[in-house]
Amino acid sequence: MFNRSIPQAHGRRLVAGVLAVAASLVVAGCSSGSGDSDSAPGTVAKGNFPATVATKFGEITVKKQPKRVVALGWGDAETALALGVQPVGASDWLAFGGDGVGPWAKGKYQKSPTKIGTLEPAYEKIAALQPDLILDTKSSGDQKRYDTLSKIAPTVGVPKGGDQYLTDWQDQTEMVADALGLHDKGQQLIARTKAKFAAAAKAHPEFKGRTVTSGSRTSEGFGAYVQGSGRVDFLQRLGFRNNPWVDKQGGSSFFVSVSHENVNKLDADLVVMEPIGLPASDITNDPLFKKVPAVRAGHDVVFDTDSALDKAFATDSVLSVNYALDKVVPAFAEAMK
């Protein structure tokens, strides 16, 4: 077998760029009313209220249509935009700049939001925006963070089991849609996206039941994502099965570190790797990585640094996964040949 590059680099497959934390598979159990029209900047489409959303912190009730939404969780702003809602404040988790969203959400803002920090948001800045709803569905799930935010405005935090960014695009879409009184529109987005996953899986029966490792390398070394994380959820929806060794190492986190002497444990039918804060060549040129059987056989995809595809894979929002299905799946299929 041999490796094909997309584009070619060091004889290895390089797809696209910068990564960080992402999120994944949880069942949220949310409910509310319905609505389906688009909105003006800083407002939401008209929906039915009161709307209730189940979260780790209990049921959150939004009594009336919010007009000033602040979206703090990873992908929350993109999800609101997909529903026709333009947040007045938002966090830019992957430092996109501009409006703080990926190319899959380009042009959806009519007025740029105020940028809010990510891991440690500026609560005074949030309060100054006078929000009537805060979205934080994909974040650390920290009680103190939630308590502080909920004093500013009704806050929809992570679902049960969603700590450490373990909220997938489907649950995020359902929670955000329900909080905005747009249950039906959220369900439509989910149905279309699930159908697209199903079509991709059907088009690539070679994925079904095959093992996959989704990993990354940082300045601290190699690591891999466990079942329940956004990246693994994406791959599982295509029919792949996560590396059993990686899952055995997983605890409450979405990610496990892999020592250099255990790099061979990354072996699977397909190995997908992402560079974080370093060049992709630090992965492709690593002597131990090159000895991994799947890599020797050419069954590896290494994302290039600092471009859109890996950010789509990392963001795991309803908009970004659709983008990734179009752009990344062909690379996986090529690597499986």
Whether residue 12 is contained in a domain is answered as: no
The structural domain count of the chain equals 2
Contacts of 304 (CB under 8 A, 6+ apart): 7, 9, 14, 15, 16, 17, 275, 280, 310
**Residue span of the structural domain in which 81 resides:** 51-193
Please, which pLDDT band fits residue 129 given cuts at 50, 70 and 90?
very high
Contacts of 155 (CB under 8 A, 6+ apart): 60, 133, 134, 135, 136, 146, 149
Average pLDDT over residues 185-208: 98
Whether residue 311 is contained in a domain is answered as: no
10-24, 106-120, 234-248: the lowest-pLDDT one: 10-24
- Is residue 132 domain-shared with residue 215, that is, in the same domain? no
Please, which pLDDT band fits residue 229 given cuts at 50, 70 and 90?
confident
User: How does pLDDT run across 140-162, given as a tens digit for each residue?
Assistant: 999 999 999 999 999 999 999 89
User: How does pLDDT run across 251-289, given as a tens digit for each residue?
Assistant: 667 789 999 999 999 999 999 999 988 999 999 999 999
- Is residue 68 domain-shared with residue 184, that is, in the same domain? yes
Whether residue 93 is contained in a domain is answered as: yes
Contacts of 233 (CB under 8 A, 6+ apart): 24, 25, 168, 169, 316
Whether residue 129 is contained in a domain is answered as: yes
Q: Which of 257, 264, 209, 260 is nearest to 235 (CA)?
A: 209
Whether residue 61 is contained in a domain is answered as: yes
Q: Which residue has the higher pLDDT, 15 or 292?
A: 292
Q: Is the peptide bond before 159 cis (omega within 30 degrees of 0)?
A: no
β 89-91/270-275 pair status: unpaired
Whether residue 17 is contained in a domain is answered as: no
Among residues 132, 161, 193, the one where a domain terminates is 193
- Distance, in Å, from the CA atom of 299 to the CA atom of 324, rounded to the nearest integer, reads 19
Residue 333 has which token pair? Answer: 């299929």
- Distance, in Å, from the CA atom of 174 to the CA atom of 17, rounded to the nearest integer, reads 28
CATH of the domain at 95: 3.40.50.1980
pLDDT at 310: 81
Whether residue 240 is contained in a domain is answered as: yes
- Is residue 182 domain-shared with residue 242, that is, in the same domain? no
- Is residue 151 domain-shared with residue 280, that is, in the same domain? no
Whether residue 66 is contained in a domain is answered as: yes
For residue 260, give Cα distances in angstroms to 216, 220, 256, 278, 283: 13, 10, 13, 17, 12
pLDDT at 251: 67
Among residues 158, 193, 228, the one where a domain terminates is 193
pLDDT at 254: 78
- Is residue 187 domain-shared with residue 61, that is, in the same domain? yes
- Is residue 236 domain-shared with residue 121, that is, in the same domain? no
* Reported pTM: 0.83
User: How does pLDDT run across 157-193, given as a tens digit for each residue?
Assistant: 999 989 988 899 999 999 999 999 999 999 999 999 9
62 within 8 A of 179, measured Cβ to Cβ: yes
